[in-house]
Amino acid sequence: MIQTNYLIIGSGVAGLTFAVKIAERFPDKKVTIVTKANENESNTRYAQGGIAIVTDKIEDSYQKHIQDTLICGDGLCDESVVEMVITEGPKRLKELIEWGAKFDKNTQGTLDLGKEGGHSENRVVHHKDQTGQEIQRAILSQVHQKENITVLDYHLALDLITENNKCLGAYVLDQKTKEVLSFQSEYTLLATGGIGHLYGHTTNPVIATGDGIAMASRANAVIKEMEFIQFHPTALYDASTGTSFLISEAVRGFGAYLRTKNGHRFMPDYDSRGDLASRDIVSQSIDLERKKTGDDCVYLDCTHLDLDGFIKHFPMIYERCKSVGIDIAKDWIPVVPAQHYLCGGIVVDKNGKTSVENLFSCGECSRTGLHGANRLASNSLLEALVYSDKIYHYLADTSLEKTPFIGTVSDWKLTSKPEINPDYVAKTKANLQLLMRQNAGIVRNDADLIKAKKQLSHWKNEVEEQLKSHNVNAELYELQNMITIGLLIVQQSIERDENRGGLVKINAK
DSSP for 154-205 reads SEEEEEEEEETTEEEEEEEEETTTTEEEEEEEEEEEE-----GGGTSSBSS-
**pLDDT the model gives residue 495:** 97
Section 135-162 average pLDDT? 95
**pLDDT the model gives residue 47:** 67
pLDDT above 90: residue 227: yes
pLDDT over 70 percentage in the chain: 95
Contact by Cβ (8 Å): 201, 208: no
pLDDT in tens, 350-361: 999 999 999 999
Section 326-345 average pLDDT? 95
pLDDT in tens, 438-451: 999 999 999 999 99
DSSP state of 354: -
Contact by Cβ (8 Å): 479, 429: yes
Closest to 504 in 3D by CA, of 290, 241, 333, 285: 285
**pLDDT the model gives residue 165:** 96
Section 368-386 average pLDDT? 96
Q: pTM of the predicted model, to two decimals? A: 0.93
User: What Å distances lie between residue 207 and 42, 128, 210, 316, 340, CA to CA?
Assistant: 7, 25, 9, 22, 13
**pLDDT the model gives residue 501:** 86
pLDDT above 90: residue 193: yes
**pLDDT the model gives residue 243:** 56
**pLDDT the model gives residue 38:** 83
- Give the pLDDT band (50/70/90) at residue 203: confident
**pLDDT the model gives residue 79:** 98
pLDDT in tens, 36-85: 988 776 666 666 679 999 998 899 999 999 999 999 999 999 999 999 99
Domains of the chain in start order, with CATH, are: 2-48+131-227+343-401 (3.50.50.60), 233-338 (3.90.700.10), 422-505 (1.20.58.100)
Alpha-helical regions (H) of 197-278: 211-218, 250-253, 267-270
Mean pLDDT score across all residues of the chain: 93
Q: Please give the Cα distance from 168 to 3 (Å, whole number).
A: 10
pLDDT above 60: residue 405: no
pLDDT above 60: residue 3: yes
Q: Please give the Cα distance from 124 to 114 (Å, whole number).
A: 5
β pairing state of 149-153 and 31-35: parallel
pLDDT above 70: residue 401: no
**pLDDT the model gives residue 240:** 64
Q: How many residues appear in the chain?
A: 509
Section 302-318 average pLDDT? 95
Q: Hey, which residues are catalytic here? A: 279
pLDDT in tens, 256-290: 999 999 999 999 999 999 999 988 899 999 999 99
**pLDDT the model gives residue 99:** 96
**pLDDT the model gives residue 270:** 95
pLDDT above 60: residue 241: no
pLDDT above 80: residue 508: no
Which residue has better confidence, 2 or 40?
A: 2
pLDDT above 90: residue 96: yes
Contact by Cβ (8 Å): 170, 161: yes
- Give the pLDDT band (50/70/90) at residue 412: confident
Burial of 377 (0-12, 13-18, 19+ CB in 10 A): buried
Region of poorest pLDDT, from 394-398, 412-416, 492-496: 412-416
pLDDT over 90 percentage in the chain: 82
- Give the pLDDT band (50/70/90) at residue 161: very high
Section 137-166 average pLDDT? 96
Section 425-437 average pLDDT? 96
User: What Å distances lie between residue 113 and 105, 224, 264, 317, 413, CA to CA?
Assistant: 8, 33, 29, 18, 54
Contact by Cβ (8 Å): 249, 239: no
How close are the terminal C-alpha atoms of the chain, in Å? 52
Alpha-helical regions (H) of 357-440: 380-401, 422-439
